[in-house]
Structure 1
């Protein structure tokens, strides 16, 4: 009669009498499912029976409706699928070990029959039967995932770089831990053991992921490689990105990752079931799943890479769940060696410790198994609430374990005595364990029950393939059909020949540009409908990017004899040539394209054309850039109109009429300036002459008045003067007239008259001289006024002629005046529309996705 197990309990075996070493039939060991939320560690040397014990526990979890995620580095855990309710020899026959049959001296059929009998008896001895196996088989879906292989269900690891559905406001620390672990795993895949704090590779990749995740953007390997070469930020810390991590070194990192992605063996990593933990632990109908991740075929780096990604996905899923005290799911690691060492920091260690510390609150139980305790970090041991301890031979192993079992207290003569416990562990037989559960008062000795699964040992990949084919036929496993990462916006057949889903890798020194597509897919497909013939149809549309060479330069036109400088843009765009090709530059020129029309990245899905031979290196681009600059310098001089007199030249785009008007305006302004200056000068000269004439006229007037006075005196002079003299003498002396005195007086008067005449004559001469000076100045004033009029007319004529002095000329370009605004590899979009019928593609029609002149 099968044993009855209460809901929420795991039947693991029976207690063992410490004295006799025999299992006690009346003391079955039941382990409460909720106790596993405090996590468990199972240790024991080879042959201790720990694999059987752990399978027992996982079988009980299935019967209790608890799903499991099992990491299987050795290949033993696939035995969970070898369940045969009818216990028939033919059920065991395909799975027996032929070498075991030969050693037993039996045929394969005989050995299968013996194995079936052994399993039936073993189950019966432990109160189990075929019906319990049947319930086990029907209670869950059992799936073996084989990352990097199609033997089982392949796994798409790229899902691990998708933005988690967690809030940065509340889960920033957890998200950064996930990023750090993912990056460490990825770098480990290419042989880089990176310190998250000091490694520039780790810092760069972590910032790229955080930048994308904060924006809610998923990141796949292809996009990650592209962003390594062209990060979406220009500064890390206080340093420019090119100072912190030069482009050449970033290119080397991208090439290392690309080598992994490009390897044919890695393609399987990008196909299959995504690492969606919700789907991994339960079917769409809600049925529990036992998901076994078989990794024994992987290299050490690949194992670390995958395990780290898987554990981080478990943490991300877990943090989205509500809290519970019940056991929601189990994460079992069959051999922890190398994944959580005590001293090193592999990428798997951080998520493992995070789970041991935090998973309890979410009802996720962690169980770790290993051959010896030195494989485990001490923090992992102390976070485990349950220890299943099998035989350990070395003293160091036992002491290491006992140091971790902090709940054990000294009590002489019992299993709680450290020395007694040490001695007991060293002498344990197979399938016997010390069970120490912190939820129970004391440790016990227990013998493990018979496993319901057939423990035939590690499975090969061919056996896994057989098991999963049967599961697929029964509809109990997710489809292993390849699910390639979509790399283009399309629907229809496979990628056309000559294209790839990933942009070709080029030297980091080559600047790459994208011309964004403007034409939607629907419009492109509609445009080719008129070309369809009977029986054909449009099979989809691929957005393609074709490699072109692009160059844009701003040219400052200047002439050595002129001070004016004008700028003009020259651009070229043409299909990327082969290395050392001769370019007909005039035929490549474009005008309706500016640097603002370009971007340095494209986040959408597309396929990419192949590069011509040799065009992944930077040297040809340097040569083409130099040739482009030389062409501009030698052939792209600016044809223009020149007015040498006015020191003017026409501007780019200025026609002759506009230039003539500008020359007339400048000539008028210059003429007015010179006219005003000359007018002021002549005015000063004329005013000065007029002032001189006025002064001369004033002086002449004074002399003329003086002359008139003298002439009047002269008319009154002579005798009259003498008579007045005698009369005056008489009056004054009172004497009579004296002839002598009279004659004397007359002589004096004559002298006076003579003197006055001389003064009159002199004044006349003075007046005549002044009048002559006035006439001379008036003549000079007339001459000056005529000269001024002639000069002003000459100025007007000069600037009228200057406005008309227009000739043709050109501005030569110096290489120093050429500024390269963009030069490198341009990705030009177009739609490739396949046309065909049910037999496949017959032809392709290309439709431009961007309008270029």
Structure 2
């Protein structure tokens, strides 16, 4: 019968439960207790509403076929059904419910089923969202940040395309598809969350500056982490010291040696490193012209601080505590809009400085409740082939951050375009619709490694994703809800961003 799938077979199977009449199930204790009635027949599925532009269709309550997919799937609403489906020895999941991120509903054969959630404790083990244009990726990304904020989890959100700068704006009109629960959550989110928009490189908005060097004193004596911090600092400084041409390798060697000595002495501000380079002591580097090369790099750093807007005094010197913590007791979301950084090099240098600062700061300020660091269009920051100024610091952060309660959420349209070491460090994956044969095949390969096989990855609707995390034997298909903050079809303009930055200032 299962192979033929006659009409009504699933409904009959779920209502009749013939295995409960077998001797084996009775002896093994797999049947529901005799004092429980049989579950009531499921209500007929209601047709889902058509998807609205830039958001998934409203979920329709309906019964879905039962499947053992791990603790991330919430029990069915009917108490009798829940008791019948659960193994006898399974304890109630109520304690975990208070620290979970609702992500949508199971979606099978066009019908929405039981609610699905992600344990908040899995966020520090990182999340990857792999989905193409028009898949609902941005809506999912925003809802994750919003639901985490409702649990008191703050976030730093990098916004390269202006898509995320409205996280602090309420919907002007209740959108189609919002449930009563969504309306209540949206009101609570706007009332309890403080969204601050930062505009590096744009003095008319909410400008910021970051230190070029990590806090070496905060690292302690861990040699591996000192080496990682030195490597991040070298990658940050190279664009500023003109380490190009025939002298590039020599300058890189001298700079690395000077940074190691600087870190051994406990570090300090950039001015202290410049003084070390101006008068480099003997024995720090074996390069024959080390002193001359170091003095030249000191001059380049002087010129950079006088000409680069990110290094000038006057802007807010961005401490991660300012990014994560609100003096008013609200949950803070810091949206860092990158539109004011005119070139890829400037953008990468800024992101590297931010990641380098986070790397050392979280060691001094670990979080038991969790924090988020969100990178949209992650393939631009941690590409699979080429190197960028921020790639080394991102790899160090993804490997170390989980120990200190910082979860990274990375979204990309090109699964093969992002460094595999990033994706493999993410415990939770979302796979959305892909368009090109190459990205479809790449996504299938990633899903196969998680035990799934999605032949429909090129046909998924907006807001439909395959979801995989710890506790699931294989990916399950879900439909995600609409985000709680205003998300119109078109992103805000540059002038809109500056206005919002002045409005959403700390």
Please give the TM-score of this superposition, normalised by the length of structure 1.
0.45
Structure with max Cα Rg: 1
- CA displacement at 1:305 relative to structure 2: 0.6
Alignment partner of 1:54: what SS? Answer: helix
Preserved CA contact (<8 Å) 1:70 1:333:
yes
Q: Structure 2, unaligned stretches of length 5 or more? A: 1-60, 62-76, 78-95
Structure 2: distance between partners of 1:73 and 1:66: 22
Indicate whether 1:54 and 2:141 are aligned: yes
- CA displacement at 1:435 relative to structure 2: 1.0
Alignment partner of 2:206: what SS? Answer: coil
Indicate whether 1:70 and 2:161 are aligned: no
Alignment partner of 2:309: what SS? Answer: helix
Aligned partner of 2:426 in structure 1 is 384
Indicate whether 1:138 and 2:225 are aligned: no
Compute the RMSD of aligned alpha carbons.
2.9
Aligned partner of 2:284 in structure 1 is 236
Aligned partner of 2:215 in structure 1 is 163
State the Cα deviation string for residues 487-516 of structure 1 (Å, max 9, x = none): xxxxxxxxxxxxxxxxxxxxxxxxxxxxxx
Structure 1: distance between partners of 2:412 and 2:244: 24
Distance 1:322 1:266, change over 3 A: closer
Preserved CA contact (<8 Å) 2:215 2:267:
yes
Aligned partner of 1:467 in structure 2 is 500
- CA displacement at 1:39 relative to structure 2: 1.1
Alignment partner of 1:77: what SS? Answer: coil
Aligned partner of 2:44 in structure 1 is none
Alignment partner of 2:333: what SS? Answer: strand
Aligned partner of 2:325 in structure 1 is 282
Structure 2: distance between partners of 1:275 and 1:205: 25
Structure 2: distance between partners of 1:290 and 1:138: 13
- CA displacement at 1:209 relative to structure 2: 3.4
Structure 2: distance between partners of 1:386 and 1:172: 30
Structure 2: distance between partners of 1:308 and 1:178: 11
Indicate whether 1:245 and 2:290 are aligned: yes
Distance 1:167 1:393, change over 3 A: closer
Alignment partner of 2:145: what SS? Answer: helix
Alignment of structure 1 residues 289-688 onto 2, 5 Å: 289-298=332-341, 299-322=343-366, 324=368, 327-405=369-447, 407-409=449-451, 416=452, 418=453, 421=454, 423-456=455-488, 457-472=490-505, 477=506
Aligned partner of 2:89 in structure 1 is none
- CA displacement at 1:78 relative to structure 2: 0.6
Alignment partner of 1:426: what SS? Answer: coil
Structure 1: distance between partners of 2:469 and 2:264: 42
> 1:183 is matched with which residue: 234, 238, 245?
234
Distance 1:148 1:223, change over 3 A: farther
Structure 1: distance between partners of 2:413 and 2:245: 28
Preserved CA contact (<8 Å) 2:127 2:427:
yes
Q: Structure 1, unaligned stretches of length 5 or more? A: 88-115, 410-415, 478-853
Distance 1:189 1:449, change over 3 A: farther
> 1:120 is matched with which residue: 161, 167, 175?
175
State the Cα deviation string for residues 343-375 of structure 1 (Å, max 9, x = none): 233232222222322322222211100111122
Preserved CA contact (<8 Å) 1:342 1:374:
yes
Aligned partner of 2:48 in structure 1 is none
Greater share of strand residues, 1 or 2? 1
Preserved CA contact (<8 Å) 2:132 2:432:
yes
Structure 1: distance between partners of 2:351 and 2:399: 18
Preserved CA contact (<8 Å) 1:189 1:302:
no
Preserved CA contact (<8 Å) 1:382 1:405:
no
- CA displacement at 1:277 relative to structure 2: 1.6
Structure 1: distance between partners of 2:259 and 2:241: 18
Preserved CA contact (<8 Å) 2:142 2:483:
yes
Structure 2: distance between partners of 1:40 and 1:137: 24
- CA displacement at 1:226 relative to structure 2: 4.6
- CA displacement at 1:179 relative to structure 2: 2.3
Distance 1:284 1:434, change over 3 A: same
- CA displacement at 1:251 relative to structure 2: 4.9
Aligned partner of 2:131 in structure 1 is 44
Preserved CA contact (<8 Å) 1:42 1:369:
yes
Distance 1:136 1:385, change over 3 A: same
- CA displacement at 1:54 relative to structure 2: 0.3
Distance 1:355 1:226, change over 3 A: closer
Aligned length: 411
Structure 2: distance between partners of 1:122 and 1:215: 59
Structure 2: distance between partners of 1:213 and 1:349: 21
Structure 1: distance between partners of 2:200 and 2:475: 39
Preserved CA contact (<8 Å) 1:53 1:431:
yes
Indicate whether 1:260 and 2:347 are aligned: no
Structure 1: distance between partners of 2:491 and 2:243: 31
